[in-house]
Structure 1
Amino acid sequence: MTAVIETQDTTVAKVGPPLLKVEGVKTYYGNIIALKGVDVDVYPGEIVTLIGANGAGKSTLMMTIFGNPQAREGRVLFDGRDITRMPSHEIARLRIAQSPEGRRIFPRMTVLENLQMGASLDKLKYFNDDVERMFTLFPRLKERLTQRGGTLSGGEQQMLAIARALMARPRLLMLDEPSLGLAPLIVKQIFDAVRDLNRTEGLTVFLVEQNAFHALKLAHRGYVMVNGLVTLSGTGQELLANPEVRAAYLEGGRH
């Protein structure tokens, strides 16, 4: 199977199975069904985005992939391995890292201590190098190194949340609403950093976003979720040009 990745700059063919495969996943909260049979593929080296209105089920899918809650039906495969019933801490050991919605940094810890919490135990020998990589990616964090996370601005906290996830040297980085509540300039800095990581290191990214314009401009491919179901898919450019997507998510300006 081959997935073709298209960007404004180039087209790259990805050969082989998906790195992440979500297959017929149904997730419930009690008796309420939140995901109604979701299928999503993310190939190595791709940035794939999932867009949709608030309450569509995007964050539930992200949490289901990470094992909390677990899918009641369907399967989640990572690099061909069924992780549907795995606990979250075992999924993390497979080098899947998540920057969750709401950032959820450790507010009483310093920036450096937050980065230490993200570092994989078996990768501590790379710790100093990885910290320097994060400072190159997000120079503001170096200026705030000894500052407590809870005293950072919203944008700085989001940078720290992403950097903490990257300290695990993930094969798959999952970002849940990284632009939420941030000023446009900060959003651009964060999305530029994600694009650079993908281009220079081949990092695979699964991005959940309400900001459809920025997400689809960044992504190679995208999915649209409505009420717990994927209703559309295509390249980022195809979805940007799609009349249904434009009417539902892009009219009224570029956010």
Structure 2
Amino acid sequence: MSSSLLEIDTVTACYGRLPVLHGVSLDIKLGEIVALIGANGAGKTTTMMTIFGRPRASRGRIVFDGRDITQLPTHEIARLRIAQSPEGRRIFPRMTVMENLQMGAIIAGDPDGFDHDLDRVTTLFPVLKARADQRGGTLSGGEQQMLAIARALMGRPKLLLLDEPSLGLAPLIVKQIFAAIKELNRDGLTVFLVEQNAYHTLKLADRGYVMVNGNITLSGTGDELLARKEVRAAYLEGDTAMLKETGA
């Protein structure tokens, strides 16, 4: 895990004239789970979206697998095998589960491998096999999140970006989602995880970064950040009920 798969180097990004990211730097090594935590509005989602060029970095650079992608069009970045499960899931609600997965597989460009990829994601999330002919919009929130992750996996990514995968889900479903992320990483997938759920995220992550108002303020291993008093005070005090419900 010595080589960096993704490097974000002093990136500034704006929405219109409003600066949102202020010289953000972070890196993700091959085979890691790296977490970015922070309060709502801290700039976490913007960091993830800037990797895809929406918004475009106005300063700094983004390097993926040794290639500068800072100015590449979004569709070309996706073809480099970076996949995203966005905040709010954003599945295709009128399409069936199977059709959503077929859309995800387009990036892989390997029709002969579709059945193998399908078996992989439905083994990870068995409920999707049972719901294959059901429209995505009729699934529960947890099932939609599983579908969003599975759709991203159908593109065979080198790097999986997950934006708030636990948002709005019941604690036991959150536990299932995080267990799936851990299993994917054990199989060799590199994961960049943006979350407000600091406890579960830092327990899972190899390393993490804390973002406040578009700036990286702390970094370290997951355990190191969990042990920091300022992290516990800012992000863990509200998690007590969830920790009891999940048995963590």
Other-structure match for 1:32: 18
- Aligned equivalents of 1:185 and 1:112: distance in 2? 25
TM-score, with length taken from structure 1: 0.93
Deviation at 1:75, TM superposition (A): 0.3
Q: Given that residues 25 and 71 in structure 1 are in contact (C-alpha distance below 8 angstroms), is that contact kept between their aligned partners in structure 2?
A: yes
What TM-score, normalized by structure 2, do the two folds share?
A: 0.95
Instruction: Give the unaligned 5+ runs of structure 1.
Output: 1-13
Deviation at 1:195, TM superposition (A): 0.2
Matches within 5 A, 1:143-182: 143-182=130-169
Aligned pair partner of 2:230 in 244, 247, 251? 244
Give the secondary-structure state (helix, strand or coil) at the position aligned to 1:68: coil
8 Å CA contact retained: 1:65, 1:84: yes
For 1:24, what is the secondary structure of its paired residue?
strand
Partner residue in 1 for 2:59:
73
Cross-structure match for 1:212: 198
Structure 1 partner of 2:48: 62
Call closer, same or farther: CA 1:51–1:113 in 2, change over 3 Å: same
Q: Decide which of 164, 174, 179 is 1:192's aligned counterpart.
A: 179
Report how many aligned residue pairs link the two structures.
240
Q: Is the 8 A contact 1:123 1:168 kept in 2?
A: no
Does the alignment pair 1:183 with 2:167? no
Deviations 1:93-142 (A, max 9, x none): 00000000010000000000000000025222110111111110001111
AA aligned opposite 1:237: D
Match of 2:246 in 1: none
Across the aligned residues of Structure 1 and Structure 2, the Cα RMSD in angstroms comes to 0.8
Q: Distance in 2 between matches of 1:47 and 1:227?
A: 23
In structure 2, how many angstroms separate the alpha carbons of the residues matched to 1:250 and 1:224?
A: 13
* Matched-pair contact (CA < 8 Å) for 1:135–1:141: yes
Say if 2:92 and 2:137, in contact at 8 Å, map to a contact too: yes
Unaligned runs of 5+ in 2: 243-248
Instruction: Give the share of equivalent positions with the same residue, in percent.
Output: 71
